[in-house]
Structure 1
Amino acid sequence: MSHPSPWFESPDDAARRLAEHGYLADPATATTAYLAGALEKPLLVEGPAGVGKTELAKAVARVTGAELVRLQCYEGLDEARALYEWNYKKQLLRIQATGEQSWEQTHDDIFTEEFLLTRPLLTAIRREQPTVLLVDEVDKTDVEVEGLLLEVLSDFQVTIPELGTVEAVRRPYVVLTSNATRELSEAVKRRCLYLHLEYPDAEREREIVTGQVPDLDTRVAEQLVAAVGRLRDLDLKKSPSIAESVDWARTLVALEIGELDEKAIADTLGVVLKHASDQDKAVRELKLRS
């Protein structure tokens, strides 16, 4: 690549700059974030929902001033939604307007840039400025989309039959996230650097929460982190994410709660647990009183 790397100079540089923008990376995360840029390899981040996988990609974009291009994966996602499709309505209008000209002329007229709808993968490949491509929740897609991703991530080029091959001028910084609801193919994993994220330990989570909510009392912060840890130990439908810990901290500051006792937890549980069955279980198991 002819461009200087816009990413990180070292793992320490990654850790420092990410922290300055509110993302506290442990040594493994900082090292892998640095290597993804230095080696120009996609980074696969796996772990339960709410541990900061998506936020890592957003933080890299914020830190480096890169544009974030996001492909949100879901069941039934196809090439047209991930890569590109033609604007058929506009093409039809052009065909009607051209009248009598030959099909060859019409074909050359309607299969041009003007009628191309670029989706996230093609958008990221074509950008000349630094770009972070986030392929979010890749485990929710079908195997066919994995094949498409393999094709794109191996060569960073896309062939559009009507227009030819589009090759990346500047490789994007690629982050794939997975909640591990299904096993990804070995071929995809082979092409990626791998990072497994878990919920942070109590000390790191306290740092994250107080970094985001500096008005939170130190003692309440410790009580909050302990309470979140107890909730995550329960067999819940959806454990509290780090973002929900931060939301809870903001709630406690807004309500001027100076002691996170059982009543305060029960009163504000809806900020961190979004399923009625989880709230019932928490109240029962932790013997909370409202």
Structure 2
Amino acid sequence: MAPGSITSAADLAGRLGETGYLADDELATVLYLALRMERPLLLEGEPGTGKTALAEALAESMDLPLIRLQCYEGIDATQALYDWDFPRQILHLRTLEAVHGDEGSGIEETEKSLYDERFLLARPVLQALQQSPAVLLVDEVDRADDEFEAFLLEVLSTYQVSIPELGTVAAAVPPVVVLTSNRTRELHDALKRRCLYHWIEHPGLEREVEIVRSRAPEVSEALRRQVVTVVQQLRSRDDLLKPPGVAETLDWAKALHYLGTQDLDLESAATTLGALVKYREDSDRVKQALDRMLAR
């Protein structure tokens, strides 16, 4: 589906809702504008607020391939663009030697055959340009360094890359680009200027209940509201190493449902905390506060 086939922010929100992703008006509007203006969308927010899930839902709603580039410390252009399949190139050379023997097939011709497109290993950015229209998710871009940011800025400005041995590869249609950041460091202004921007907050109680209803309809209304109420209280604490995100809310609700829990009580909450918090210190703190939170 071409981005131009989406007629409004409300239309986009409806399509996302069909995948189970509930976008508020502000998020749906900035995403719609990113599609119409063919600009990357930079999403920042705390871990677990649904940044990555939005890109996944967008690809599903538009019936486009999702191509993910996971950023990490030390990533460079090679991991994002392309590499050459060295083992296959060696096999190709040995085949030429076996066929042509000592006569060879000419140095120039041999070198040219080594850098044929069949030996090219396309990485996520190149894949997105080749397969476009597609959704390119550049996840946790804040974990990469300044040099990689500069590379991304260049690619996102032209939607093309140059491969010395093959020439220029340009996207027939600019891919839909979503960048996410947990804001472990500030991104450079040049990259931000290229993008539209949105900060994603944790949802409020009623919206999170709606999210659980949409993504885990098997969970009873009473249980989902009890779960979300506890999670909302946990996010208001300042002593947790990692407050639970929406993904943890869904996991906890499903875990309780699979155990046959009808009403959240101290025992069921304590035995399923592994779905909600992921640090021992957080687990100890939550267990100590469960009585008080459940009483609310």
Q: TM-score, normalised by structure 2?
A: 0.91
In the alignment, is residue 228 of structure 1 matched against residue 226 of structure 2? no
CA drift at 1:73: 0.9
Q: Decide whether the 8 Å contact of 1:266 with 1:288 is kept in 2.
A: no
Of residues 78, 81, 89, the one that matches 2:79 is 81
Shift of 1:288: 6.7
Distance of 1:173 and 1:278 partners within structure 2: 38
Larger fraction in helix = 2
Q: Equivalent residue for 1:62?
A: 60
Structure 2 gap segments, 5+ residues each: 98-103
The CA deviation string for residues 11-55 of structure 1, in whole angstroms up to 9 with x for no partner, is 110111111210000111100111111111000011111110000
Deviation, structure 1 residue 144: 1.6
8 Å CA contact retained: 2:223, 2:263? yes
Q: What letter is aligned with 1:207? A: E
8 Å Cα contact 1:150/1:188 also seen in 2: yes
Q: CA deviation at 1:168?
A: 0.7
Structure 2 partner of 1:218: 221
Deviation at 1:196, TM superposition (A): 0.5
Aligned identity (percent) is: 48
State the Cα distance separating 1:165 from its structure 2 match: 0.9
* In structure 2, C-alpha distance between the alignment counterparts of 1:19 and 1:103, rounded to whole Å: 58
Q: Is the 8 A contact 1:127 1:170 kept in 2?
A: no
Q: Distance in 1 between matches of 2:55 and 2:170?
A: 23
Aligned counterpart in structure 2 of residue 275 of structure 1, from 264, 274, 279: 279
The one-letter code matched in structure 1 to 2:267 is K
1:246 matched to 2:244: no
Structure 1: runs of 5 or more not aligned: none
Distance across 2 between alignment mates of 1:103 and 1:215: 66
**Partner residue in 2 for 1:53:** 51
Q: 1:136 corresponds to which residue?
A: 139
Distance change (3 Å), C-alpha of 1:59 and 1:143: same
8 Å CA contact 1:46–1:179 kept in 2: the answer is yes
Distance in 1 separating the partners of 2:20 and 2:13:
11
Deviation at 1:264, TM superposition (A): 2.8
Q: Which moved more, 1:93-102 or 1:200-209?
A: 93-102
Aligned position for 2:124 = 120
Which residue in the other structure is 1:256 paired with?
A: 260
CA distance in 2, matches of 1:255, 1:30: 36
Q: Is 2:129–2:174's contact at 8 Å kept on the other side of the alignment? A: yes
Q: Deviations over 1:111-146 (max 9, x none)?
A: 110111100000000114x31000111111122211
Look up the SS of the partner of 1:55 in the other structure. helix
* TM-score with structure 1 setting the length: 0.93
RMSD: 1.8
